[in-house]
Chains A and B, each alone.
Chain A
């Protein structure tokens, strides 16, 4: 237990310099690309004088290094600044979008795992069979088909033609779980389908590799049923890389399934960062990247911890 705690603390401390580098790079990148939030706020008919006045008001006329120092100072106080467009602190804007993003992430992940893991295991277990070829063709399709195309076709079929589900929108699961499920079904399936492809392919190759191991041959030699060989011996050992992929998928989805959120009009982090980049809402871009980077690292840490539960041979040092 002490080893786990020490390991976790060491990993958490290691996050600090990484986060610092990430936020600095993002700060510089977003400020160095051309574009001006003030010109966007003031609208197309604003003149240069109005733009200058507003830049001064927002502190954008200061040298970049002064703005960076101010950003660090705020960050140390836990203040991510204030959005130029949303008229509220960035932390509040992020908090408001946490629920839609997390709900979308977990539902997308649920669909991805539900499709990806059994398909991959089945394809691997019956390598070369018709099932294997069919499932891998579907997986290839999942990787190749653009997310927006799939989403738009789902909308056309299930919402416009059949009228079974709403086109777009979001309802809180805490306020109206039934409406929330109706709104989330199409986004979760279209997101989960493309993510399941990667999981299926990794699960298949891991399964094939494990099934070639000596202990599997031994298990078969001692007369175990094929089902027991696959589910009791091979499956668990094939899981470690699959869990890694699931972790990566989860981290990607935290950053925002941008296209899905835009097409299905889900007010999450992906939509927030896209509009923030387009409008050069610097504090919001920095805030979302900071949260996404932290989520990436924490999920990686979580995945490392989970390894030990799946495979007792793995030890923390």
Chain B
């Protein structure tokens, strides 16, 4: 026995040593303490997660609040405040959510089903995604202290994903906050269950968050926006720095530890700057020209198809990305590559054709006689202006007459809701985690896509529960999209962020930054 035991013992010992050696550097490196200074582009319009789809609110609020579910690294829903996945009744109309016990709000109160019911109802009345889900919800009620039941009017596949999306999220607030601030009123007290606790918001100076000591991390390994969250820094200081050049300079001098939304032209400078790591944020937006399909010239499908056929995307994208080929991607799928479950690889789509003969034929069929097309953009987002300007040149070469109207963002977002004021406007599309969330495919968002076939497919998608069938429907949606052209899809543009070398543990694969599990090694 002895000769056989020694090698096994030695093997086990070696294995343990190797494991420890592998783990040791990281375990030793994780340091608690310090202030992490993050430079962002400005002030959020609110920190009420139910209230706005603004990205800056999403980023900040997701450090303070949590929902029942969140997304893993593959953009799939995973439990956060819910104990596990819900029990679904056989008819698919009732979802029962068990809540994790002992979860505390930042005010010390324990979270119960009453808080969850009140929060979900508020979210369902105000949030874009909440409203979509609540159109199918009959009732949400507390079964006992830690159980919530959601009853649906009709079977739908979007319950979990809607509860998990980080934007305009189904954040859980204490019931008292919900009672105090009705859905149409912005909450001005910000209490959540998240790993960071808000302690001070001084507009134009900083938003200060500190570690929430009573936070109960999940046991599962960190993945995507979920799993085990540990806060190592004592303080997370968000500093609004509206000038992008100043943010870059502050990264170089070390005044900031992390900066988001940097000018793509600073990419080379950041890469060559000692002690700074430039991070390409994927995905960011796909660029889009949204057509007014309610009235005016672009109600003509042939004209929209001609627009799509005229564009040569590569030079546009390269120019918008400041000439850096690693800051953009040519892709025709309506879901980003990173959103693997919904990314399509269809061939033969009429995308990036730059086919002048086809354009001429379509313009003739459309009966277009060179009437000016009002194309609205803004210089507040440089990338929008750049791609609008380059599109104008290409479209005019192909026979269009473009009246480029440059306005500020506040004007653009107002005018785009009035069908009389424009024909086309620029914007960007972020990551939509479910096919039913693609706002530009529906009739309630500016541009007003109200196509019978798309509506039918999207209704099917909302009802169907089987992933394979849903994916097949999504491919049909994509093909129909390229035929109807409700909007013109350009390429994917990436974002640029940077961090100092002493910032460790940051997950660079995330679309939006998160600072749990991040520590300072200095």
A residues with a Cβ closer than 8 A to B are: 33-37, 39-51, 53-54, 56-57, 85-88, 93, 96-97, 152, 155-156, 159-160, 163, 166-170, 262-265, 267, 271-272, 275, 278-280
> How many Å lie between the Cα of A54 and that of B249 in the bound state?
38
Residues of the B chain whose Cβ atoms lie less than 8 Å from the Cβ of A275: 42-43, 204, 242
Interface centre among B126, B131, B168, B205 (most CB of A within 10 A): B205
> How many Å lie between the Cα of A87 and that of B45 in the bound state?
9
Interface centre among A53, A97, A168, A267 (most CB of B within 10 A): A168
Residues of the A chain whose Cβ atoms lie less than 8 Å from the Cβ of B242: 262, 265, 271, 275
A265-B411 contact, Cβ under 8 Å, with A42-B53, A87-B188, A275-B43: no
Q: 14 A-B residue contacts at CB 8 Å?
A: A34-B407, A35-B408, A41-B51, A44-B413, A45-B53, A87-B46, A93-B203, A160-B249, A168-B255, A170-B205, A265-B239, A265-B243, A278-B380, A279-B410
Residues of the B chain whose Cβ atoms lie less than 8 Å from the Cβ of A36: 410, 413-414, 417
Cβ-based interface call for B184 (8 A)? yes
Cβ-based interface call for B439 (8 A)? yes
Residues of the B chain whose Cβ atoms lie less than 8 Å from the Cβ of A54: 184
Partner of A168, one of B168, B186, B246: B246
Query: Nearest chain-B residue to A45 (Cβ)?
Result: B53
A156 touches B249 (CB 8 A): yes
Residues of the B chain whose Cβ atoms lie less than 8 Å from the Cβ of A46: 52-53, 128
Smallest CB–CB gap between A143 and chain B, Å?
Answer: 23
Partner of A45, one of B245, B417, B439: B439
A41-B46 contact, Cβ under 8 Å, with A34-B414, A264-B246: yes
A267 touches B204 (CB 8 A): yes
> How many Å lie between the Cα of A85 and that of B417 in the bound state?
21
B414 touches A39 (CB 8 A): yes
Smallest CB–CB gap between A184 and chain B, Å?
Answer: 15
Smallest CB–CB gap between B376 and chain A, Å?
Answer: 11
A167 touches B250 (CB 8 A): yes
B residues with a Cβ closer than 8 A to A are: 42-43, 45-46, 51-55, 57, 126, 128, 131, 167-168, 184-186, 188, 202-205, 239-243, 245-246, 249-250, 252-253, 255, 380, 407-411, 413-415, 417, 427-428, 439, 444-446
A85 touches B249 (CB 8 A): no
A40 touches B126 (CB 8 A): no
Smallest CB–CB gap between B132 and chain A, Å?
Answer: 10
Residues of the A chain whose Cβ atoms lie less than 8 Å from the Cβ of B249: 155-156, 159-160, 167-168
B253 touches A166 (CB 8 A): yes
> How many Å lie between the Cα of A280 and that of B167 in the bound state?
23
Interface centre among A49, A54, A272 (most CB of B within 10 A): A54
B414 touches A35 (CB 8 A): yes
Residues of the B chain whose Cβ atoms lie less than 8 Å from the Cβ of A86: 43, 203
* Other 9 A-B pairs with CB < 8 A, given A168-B250, A267-B202: A36-B413, A44-B413, A46-B53, A48-B417, A51-B417, A56-B184, A169-B255, A265-B241, A265-B242
Residues of the B chain whose Cβ atoms lie less than 8 Å from the Cβ of A37: 410
Residues of the A chain whose Cβ atoms lie less than 8 Å from the Cβ of B409: 40, 278
Residues of the A chain whose Cβ atoms lie less than 8 Å from the Cβ of B413: 35-36, 39-40, 44
Residues of the A chain whose Cβ atoms lie less than 8 Å from the Cβ of B417: 36, 39, 48, 51
Query: Nearest chain-A residue to B125 (Cβ)?
Result: A53
Residues of the A chain whose Cβ atoms lie less than 8 Å from the Cβ of B240: 265
B202 touches A96 (CB 8 A): yes
B445 touches A45 (CB 8 A): yes
Query: Nearest chain-A residue to B126 (Cβ)?
Result: A50
Residues of the A chain whose Cβ atoms lie less than 8 Å from the Cβ of B428: 44
Residues of the A chain whose Cβ atoms lie less than 8 Å from the Cβ of B126: 50
Residues of the A chain whose Cβ atoms lie less than 8 Å from the Cβ of B57: 43
A57-B445 contact, Cβ under 8 Å, with A36-B414, A50-B126, A85-B45: no
Query: Nearest chain-B residue to A169 (Cβ)?
Result: B255
Query: Nearest chain-B residue to A263 (Cβ)?
Result: B243
> How many Å lie between the Cα of A236 and that of B46 in the bound state?
54
Residues of the B chain whose Cβ atoms lie less than 8 Å from the Cβ of A278: 380, 408-410
> How many Å lie between the Cα of A152 and that of B184 in the bound state?
43
A167 touches B53 (CB 8 A): no
Partner of B45, one of A41, A57, A155: A41
Query: Nearest chain-B residue to A274 (Cβ)?
Result: B242
> How many Å lie between the Cα of A97 and that of B43 in the bound state?
15
Smallest CB–CB gap between B182 and chain A, Å?
Answer: 9
